[in-house]
Amino acid sequence: MDLAYVREHPQLLRTMLTHQRIRETPVDGGSICRSSRLTFDNGESMFMKEWPKGDPPSGFFHAEASGLRWLAETGTVAVPEVIVEAPDLLGLAWVEPGEPTRAAAEHFGRSLAQMHQAGAPAFGAQWDGYHGSAPMDNTPSAGPWHVWFAQRRLNAYLQMSLNALSASDIELVERVIAAMDGSGDEPPARIHGDLWMGNLLWGADGRCWLVDPAAHGGHRETDLAYLELWGRAPHFDAILGAYEEVWPLAPGWRERVPLHQLSMYLLHTALFGAAFASGVRETAAACPH
């Protein structure tokens, strides 16, 4: 019983866990799923995540697996191999964790720009999406970006957040949406879609790996704006500098950072309630309105 056998028979993993000698060690895999390291008799390991109780939302793990494969096919940023995709679990190649270094950050910045440059056929994706545990409308759209982002992200998450926001907060977000124009529009880039620093896995191999994507065709500035949320990614200046060596950002990108980050704050009010309302308010106030 080893990793090669699991690759050949991925549909049997659940049965193997019941009847074979596989060591399960709990690991940190985020706040939504239960995660563990599976270690086989020959010392090989795999990362597994499961829905904690009952059945996961329809297509939940398919969305993550599809996103990982779609990002990996660019051959740019390091992305864990999808070994097992099942309705109730996901099994990925194990990445031995390491420490963030400036060299790894620079390599990641260049690779991220190349991944974005791979592009997407449309805004959205060919699979139903999830951002965390919240549904994410990935219906493909030709754009333009500001119309798509206003409808499919900002307004969609606002409608999910109404019970967590005050009337004045809602009005402020609505003014931001109404004020959006095409000044920052770009064609769809191939983005991770949930690229805050908690979804960067700094590997012992000296690379930065992307995990837990909400991948879709979107605006590349969204990924970069998320990297500055909640403390910033390690060596963010090195990431950004290396990114711009490959693909310089458009004029005015810094002023658009709050607009991109607003979608994340609205998502968090939808998922976790009024604790994130102040983030919505402050971020929306920094946007043109």
Average pLDDT, the chain: 94
Q: Please provide the CATH number assigned to the domain covering 3-93.
A: 3.30.200.20
Q: Reading across the β-sheet that carries 23-26, which strands appear in turn?
A: 23-26, 34-39, 45-50, 89-93, 82-86
Q: Is the pLDDT of residue 30 over 80?
A: no
Q: Which residue has the tokens 């004045």?
A: 168
Over range 183-200, report the average pLDDT.
96
Quick one: DSSP state of residue 89?
Answer: E
Residue 20 confidence (pLDDT): 67
- Token digits of residue 218: 């979107």
Q: How confident is the model at residue 144 (pLDDT cuts 50, 70, 90)?
A: very high
- Token digits of residue 14: 């659940």
Q: Rounded distance, CA 282 to CA 31, Å?
A: 25
Residue 48 confidence (pLDDT): 93
Q: Is the pLDDT of residue 1 over 70?
A: no
| Per-residue pLDDT reduced to its tens digit, 32-91 | 889 999 998 888 899 999 988 888 999 999 999 999 999 999 999 999 999 999 998 999
pTM of the model as a whole: 0.94
Any idea where the domains of the chain sit in the sequence? 3-93, 102-285
171 vs 3, residue with greater confidence: 171
Residue 209 amino acid letter = W
Burial (0-12, 13-18, 19+ Cβ within 10 Å), 235: buried
Class of domain 102-285: alpha beta
- Are the C-beta atoms of 85 and 185 separated by less than 8 Å? no
Over range 121-138, report the average pLDDT.
95
Residue 19 confidence (pLDDT): 62
Please check whether the two domains, 3-93 and 102-285, share a CATH topology.
Answer: no
